[in-house]
C-alpha cells in the first residue's frame, strides 16, 4: 500500500505586491485562486503538508484567514498547516486559523501550536511538525525529534527554514539520516531563481530523493528575482517509507522575468529582445512582470529603432520595466547634418550656435526622427 503526499508552502496569501501598482490586486487575487486549485487537487491525496507561510504577514486580515479556512474545510484530505516565519505562533495567526477551522467542523485539518508528534495510524505515518515561535526563531528545530521506537510507521518531519549549506541555515541537510526520518519536508526556499530545478541542489528531485529532504516549492513566483514556474511537490511512499515517486506539479500562473539584453551596433534590436523574452511571449500580459536591462553601444539609427520597439512593447506589457544603459557610438560614416531635411538643417545650426556637445545633438536628432510622424 502506498501513501500519496501533497507538499506545499510559502503561499503568502494577501501579499501586497507593492511595486506593481494597480496590477497588485490581480496578482494578490491570483494567489488565492492558486491556493484553491491546490486544495482541489489535494482531494486525490492521502495527506497534505503545508510547510509554513500560508499567509504573508503578521497583520493578515481576519477575512483572509477565514477564506483560507473555508478552502481547507472544503477539502476532506487530512492536512497539517505549519507556522512559518511570516505567520509564526507569535503572530497569533495559527490560533486564529485553528479556531476558524473548529467553527467549520474541520477536524481533519491540524494546526500545531507546539512541537510534538502527530500520529495518523490509519495511514501508518507519524508527522513531526516544527512550528516557528516567532519570525526570528533561533531555537533548535530538530533536537526534540525522538529516536525511532518501531511503531510510528513512516516518519515525516515538517519544517520551515534554510538548510545549513545556505547562509544562516540551521537545518542539517542530512537531517533525515541523523534523526532516522523517512522524509523531511521544508518550506522557506521558494524555487530555483533561474527556473531550472536541475541546476539547484535545493530543488533537484534527484538530490531531494538522495538526502530524503525536499523543499515543497512555492506555488507562485512572488517577486522579480523569482524566474521559476510555481509548483507543489507530489511524493508517493510505500509502507516501508521508501520514496516511489517525487515530482513537481506546475500550477503557477504568475511569471516574473528579470534579464539583461545585449544590444550590438547595426543589429536589429527587436531580435535580441524577442530572444530575451522568449520564455514569456506566449503568456498573458496581465500575469507577467518583466524587467529588461539594456546594455551595449549602437548607432543613432539603431537607437531610434530600439526606442520604437520599446514603446511598442510597453503598449503590450503593462508591467514592463526598462533599465537602459545603451550609449550611441561615434560613426564616421554617419552624418548628423541632415541636408535633405530642412528642419534637421535648422537643428544643426541652432546646435552650433549653442555649442551643444556632439552626443547631445545626436540625441536631439534621434528624438526628432522618432517623433517626426507625430510632429509633421
Q: Using CA atoms, how far apart are residues 131 and 84, in angstroms rounded to an integer?
A: 6
Least Cα distance to 336 among 298, 296, 369 occurs for 369
The answer to whether residues 52 and 97 belong to one domain is: yes
Task: Inform me whether the pLDDT recorded for 321 exceeds 80.
Answer: yes
Q: Is the pLDDT of residue 187 over 60?
A: yes
Of the three residues 195, 226, 250, the one that is the final residue of a domain is 250
Task: Give the tens place of pLDDT for each residue, 270-297.
Answer: 888 999 999 999 999 999 999 999 988 8
More confident call, 296 vs 107? 107
Q: How much of the chain, in percent, has pLDDT values that exceed 90?
A: 72
Q: Quick one: which H or E segment has residue 249? A: strand 243-250
- Between 371 and 11, the more confident residue is 11
- The total number of structural domains that make up the chain: 2
Beta strands across the sheet bearing 78-81: 109-110, 78-81, 47-50, 2-8, 231-238, 243-250
**98 & 73 share domain:** yes
CATH number for the domain harbouring residue 27: 3.60.21.10
Q: Domain range holding 131?
A: 2-250
Residues 197 and 308 in one domain: no
Residues 93 and 220 in one domain: yes
What is the reported pTM? 0.85
In a shared domain, residues 304 and 182: no
Q: 250, 284, 314 — which closes off a domain?
A: 250
Last residue of a domain, one of 250, 280, 306: 250
**pLDDT value of residue 330:** 59
Taking 50 as the threshold, does the pLDDT of residue 336 lie above it? no
| Mean pLDDT to the nearest integer, 331-344 | 54
SS3 assignment, position 279: coil
| Judgement on whether residues 214 and 278 belong to the same structural domain of the protein | no
Task: Indicate the pLDDT class of residue 193, thresholds 50, 70 and 90.
Answer: confident
Amino acid at each position: 500500500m502506498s501513501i500519496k503526499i501533497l507538499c506545499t508552502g510559502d503561499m503568502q496569501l494577501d501579499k501586497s505586491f507593492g511595486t506593481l501598482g494597480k496590477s497588485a490586486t490581480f496578482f494578490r487575487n491570483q494567489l488565492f485562486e492558486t491556493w484553491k486549485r491546490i486544495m482541489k487537487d489535494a482531494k486525490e491525496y492521502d495527506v497534505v503538508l503545508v510547510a509554513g507561510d500560508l499567509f504573508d504577514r503578521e497583520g493578515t486580515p481576519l477575512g483572509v484567514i477565514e477564506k483560507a479556512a473555508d478552502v481547507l474545510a472544503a477539502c476532506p484530505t487530512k492536512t497539517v498547516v505549519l507556522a512559518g516565519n511570516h505567520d509564526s505562533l507569535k503572530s497569533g495567526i495559527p490560533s486564529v486559523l485553528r479556531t476558524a477551522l473548529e467553527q467549520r467542523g474541520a477536524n481533519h485539518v491540524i494546526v500545531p501550536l507546539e512541537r510534538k508528534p502527530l500520529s495518523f495510524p490509519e495511514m501508518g505515518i507519524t508527522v513531526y511538525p516544527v512550528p516557528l515561535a516567532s519570525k526570528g526563531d533561533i531555537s533548535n528545530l530538530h533536537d526534540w525529534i525522538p529516536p525511532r521506537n518501531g511503531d510510528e510507521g513512516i516518519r515525516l518531519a515538517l519544517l520551515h527554514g534554510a538548510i545549513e549549506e545556505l547562509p544562516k541555515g540551521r537545518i542539517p541537510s542530512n537531517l533525515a539520516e541523523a534523526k532516522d526520518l523517512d522524509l523531511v519536508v521544508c518550506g522557506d526556499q521558494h524555487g530555483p531563481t533561474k527556473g531550472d530545478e536541475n541546476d539547484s541542489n535545493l530543488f533537484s528531485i534527484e538530490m531531494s530523493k538522495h538526502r530524503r529532504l525536499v523543499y515543497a516549492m512555492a506555488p507562485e513566483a512572488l517577486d522579480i528575482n523569482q524566474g521559476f514556474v510555481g509548483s507543489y511537490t507530489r511524493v508517493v511512499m510505500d509502507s516501508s517509507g521508501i520514496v516511489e515517486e517525487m515530482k513537481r506539479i506546475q500550477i503557477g500562473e504568475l511569471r516574473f522575468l528579470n534579464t539583461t539584453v545585449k544590444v550590438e551596433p547595426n543589429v536589429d534590436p527587436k531580435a535580441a529582445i524577442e530572444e530575451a523574452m522568449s520564455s514569456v511571449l506566449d503568456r498573458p500580459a496581465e500575469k507577467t512582470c518583466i524587467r529588461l536591462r539594456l546594455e551595449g553601444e549602437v548607432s543613432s539609427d539603431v537607437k531610434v529603432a530600439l526606442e520604437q520597439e520599446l514603446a511598442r512593447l510597453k503598449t503590450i506589457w503593462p508591467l514592463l520595466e526598462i533599465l537602459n544603459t545603451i550609449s550611441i557610438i561615434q560613426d564616421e560614416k554617419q552624418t548628423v547634418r541632415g541636408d535633405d531635411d530642412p528642419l534637421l538643417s535648422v537643428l544643426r545650426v541652432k546646435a552650433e550656435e549653442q555649442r551643444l556637445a556632439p552626443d547631445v545633438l545626436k540625441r536631439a536628432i534621434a528624438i526628432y526622427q522618432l517623433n517626426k510622424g507625430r510632429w509633421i
